[in-house]
Each structure stands twice: as structure tokens, then as C-alpha cells.
């Protein structure tokens, strides 16, 4: 189980050069690990458990962030204008927020109507180590399959990129995290697997050979154990 939700995206600390991240429908509520991603230009956080707009504190120093999808999170609240103005006041470099282009007029208005975020959010404790999802995010994450989520995330990502005059992301180069599951152990396994697959892309030939040797030894050990159990 997890010590905190940051373990779901802690891999981002080791991927400073990553440019596009999709965390849609994942039960994410902590954005602190993203502060390391200085090359991040697109971030998709639709339908998560982000409770406070103070989480934007961790995104304020990302110089290349141009696209943010934050809708359908608790932090959006009941006042769409205040929510949008606060996001734009703190992230004035955005070109698109929630699939809607940002205008110069909005950026000027945000200085008046938006709230300046100067400190990170206060953290709530998680006694059981595996925080429960809340609201519609929980229902969505248990009904949408991993394949459906990947297709949806890729579709929404490329739709925005097309509107900004950017090339679409090929499916074989697109990484998305698996949906939140009720079984904490299974979720942990999926996150470890995703982390490994993402890090593999960062390795050179020598690094890949080391991974191959390590995986080979592990497989031999598992097979030996299975034979002994039989």
C-alpha cells in the first residue's frame, strides 16, 4: 500500500525531461512530484481527487507548461469563473486550460479576480496508507477499463495538440498511468510496472543491457522457485 498519494506519481522526480504527462482518472491528489519536471509542457489531470487549488503551487515554476486539463476535480468548486481566474493568475503562461484557449483579456482579469497562491497545501494524514477516492472520480475509475482510459487520454491529448498546431503523439510513444483500482496491492504492482517502463525509455544501450541481465537473473530465480514448489 502507499504511504501517500505522491507515491503514485513519484516516478516524475526521476523524469525531469518528460514533456507530456496524462494522469486522468487516477485518484491523484498530490502534485508535489511534478515540480521536478522542468520540461513539462502538457499535463492532463482530468477526474482526479485534487481537493485544493493550492496544489498549483507545485506547478508555478514549470517554465514550459502550456496545456493543463484540471476539470472534474474537487478543487474546481462551484464557481467556474473564480476557479479559472485563480488558475490563470498563478499559471499565466498557459495557452489552454480545460480544452479552452486562454485569452489576453482573461489573463488581465485574472490579476483582479484570481487568488494568488503563495504556499503549498496543508497535507492531511493517511492512516491506512491507501487513500480512498472520493466523488465521481471513484465511480469513474472502477467502471472505465484501462484500454478505454488510454484511448480517451490519447484522444484528448491529440485534440488539444492539433488545435495548437502541434503534431499528434503516436500511440506507441504515449504513456498513461493505469486507473485507480480497489485492490491496493494490485495498484502498487501496476504503478511499479509503469515506472519501470517509463525509465527504460531514458536508458542507453549499456543501461538496457544491465536491465536485461538483471531481469534474466530474476526470471531464473522465479522459475527455480516454481519448480521447487511443484
- Domain boundaries along the sequence of the chain: 5-113, 199-229
Q: What's the confidence (pLDDT) of residue 213?
A: 81
Residue 101 β-bridge partners: 96
pTM above 0.75, yes or no: no
E strand or H helix that includes residue 43? strand 42-44
Q: Is-contact 95 164, C-beta < 8 A?
A: yes
Q: pLDDT digits over 165-181, tens only?
A: 667 766 655 555 444 44
The 10 Å CB-count burial string (b at 16+, else e) for 198-228 is: beeeeeeeeeeeeeeeeeeeeeeeeeeeeee
Name the grid cell of 127. 492512516
Q: Is-contact 8 191, C-beta < 8 A?
A: yes
- The mean pLDDT of 149-157, rounded to a whole number, is 59
Q: pLDDT digits over 21-69, tens only?
A: 888 887 888 899 899 899 999 999 999 999 999 999 999 999 999 999 9
Residue 68 β-bridge partners: 43, 97
The pLDDT mean for the chain works out to 75
Domain 5-113 is in which class? alpha beta
Q: What's the confidence (pLDDT) of residue 10?
A: 75
Amino acid at each position: 500500500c502507499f504511504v501517500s498519494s505522491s507515491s503514485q506519481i513519484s516516478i516524475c522526480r526521476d523524469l525531469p525531461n518528460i514533456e507530456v504527462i496524462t494522469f486522468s482518472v487516477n485518484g491523484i491528489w498530490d502534485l508535489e512530484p511534478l515540480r521536478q519536471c522542468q520540461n513539462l509542457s502538457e499535463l492532463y489531470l482530468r477526474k482526479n481527487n485534487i481537493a485544493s487549488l493550492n496544489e498549483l503551487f507545485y506547478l508555478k515554476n514549470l517554465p514550459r507548461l502550456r496545456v493543463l486539463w484540471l476539470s472534474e476535480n474537487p478543487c474546481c468548486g462551484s464557481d467556474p469563473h473564480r476557479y479559472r481566474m485563480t488558475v490563470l493568475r498563478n499559471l499565466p503562461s498557459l495557452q489552454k486550460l480545460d480544452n479552452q484557449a486562454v485569452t489576453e483579456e482573461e489573463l488581465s482579469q485574472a490579476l483582479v479576480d484570481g487568488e494568488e497562491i503563495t504556499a503549498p497545501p496543508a497535507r492531511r494524514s493517511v492512516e491506512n496508507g491507501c487513500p480512498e477516492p472520493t466523488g465521481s472520480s471513484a465511480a469513474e475509475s472502477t467502471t472505465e477499463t484501462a484500454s478505454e482510459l488510454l484511448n480517451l487520454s490519447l484522444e484528448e491529448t491529440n485534440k488539444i495538440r492539433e488545435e495548437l498546431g502541434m503534431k499528434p503523439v503516436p500511440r506507441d510513444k504515449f504513456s498513461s498511468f493505469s486507473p485507480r483500482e480497489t485492490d491496493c496491492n494490485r495498484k502498487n504492482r501496476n504503478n511499479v510496472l509503469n515506472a519501470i517502463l517509463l525509465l527504460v525509455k531514458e536508458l542507453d544501450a549499456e543501461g538496457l543491457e544491465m536491465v536485461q541481465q538483471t531481469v534474466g537473473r530474476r526470471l531464473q530465480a522465479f522459475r527455480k522457485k516454481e519448480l521447487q514448489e511443484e
